[in-house]
Amino acid sequence: MLKGKVAIITGSTSGIGLGIAKVLARQHADIVLNGFGDAKEIESIRAGIVRDHDVRVVYDGADMSNGEAVRGLVETTVRTLGRVDILVNNAGIQFTAPVEAFPPQKWDAILAINLSAAFHGIAAAVPRMKKQGWGRIINIASAHGLVGSTHKAAYVAAKHGLIGLTKVVGLETAGTGITANAVCPGWVLTPLVEKQIADIAANKQISLEDAKASLLGQKQPSQTFVTPEQLGGTVAFLCSPAADQITGTAIAVDGAWTAQ
């Protein structure tokens, strides 16, 4: 479906981003991986996608906290692969603390990576997409882009902002062949969440399975984790002709979390 298209997925060396990259590669899109990690492991991931799906895959370690580096990621992609058709803004970080104790430097870092990076990437990609007459901008927001939770001031603010940015870009690009949408996952079983589960188990002195149930029970009525592959499927759908008129909206993939 996506043969000949080039997709940038930020924060794609693990977790949700890697799951999305693999699904888009399965649809024969060429892939730009981005993120931090061990160089040998990243090269193994890159080579594995090439081997499994016979597509072009490059890695760019652009720092998502630096706006110029984000814009440079788009320009480097165009120089290297010839175009940019799909931009998935997935990179994100988290920190939790009550608002009165929230470290200012953590606030600045979360806003930079979770929100400003998407702005810089979109601003650089939209002119390219307009020239082509086709583009897909997909912002990986969160259930926390739709509702709040305690101790997550920066993350909730950034994700709400990301959905607002999505609406504006959807309006500004309407009728150009470009769509902009946000995907809002609930709890996803990523390495980051697995660490949270382990911490719950240790603190409460319960099993990992009970800790998982405890985490899900707080928010997610389905009592089942979302998978990176399911989110990849949602992104692939938004890249399909069936989604040509879906733009400027937020799609919750959250096991009914935000239905409450």
Give me the tens of pLDDT residue by residue for the chain, a chain 260 residues long. Answer: 899 999 999 999 999 999 999 999 999 999 999 999 999 999 999 999 999 999 999 999 999 999 999 999 999 999 999 999 999 999 999 999 999 999 999 999 999 999 999 999 999 999 999 999 999 999 999 999 999 999 999 999 999 999 999 999 999 999 999 999 999 999 998 877 888 899 899 999 999 999 999 989 989 999 999 999 999 999 999 999 999 999 999 999 999 999 99
| Burial annotation 113-128 (CB, 10 A radius, 16+ → b, else e) | bbbbbbbbbbebbbeb
Query: 158 and 99 in one domain?
Result: yes
The tally of domains found in the chain comes to 2
Query: 174 and 63 in one domain?
Result: yes
Give pTM, 2 decimals.
0.95
* Within-domain flag for 1: no
Range of the domain at 210: 189-225
Query: 151 and 244 in one domain?
Result: yes
pLDDT at 191: 79
pLDDT at 98: 97
pLDDT at 92: 95
Query: 182 and 66 in one domain?
Result: yes
Q: Pick the closest to residue 163 from 186, 140, 185, 179 (CA basis).
A: 140
pLDDT at 234: 98
Query: 85 and 11 in one domain?
Result: yes
Query: 131 and 154 in one domain?
Result: yes
Q: Pick the closest to residue 15 from 223, 247, 232 (CA basis).
A: 232
Q: Considering the candidates 107, 155, 225, 257, report the single residue annotated as catalytic.
A: 155
Query: 168 and 47 in one domain?
Result: yes
Query: 170 and 69 in one domain?
Result: yes
Query: 91 and 51 in one domain?
Result: yes
155 noted as active-site residue:
yes
What gap in Å lies between CA 60 and CA 47, rounded to an integer?
A: 14
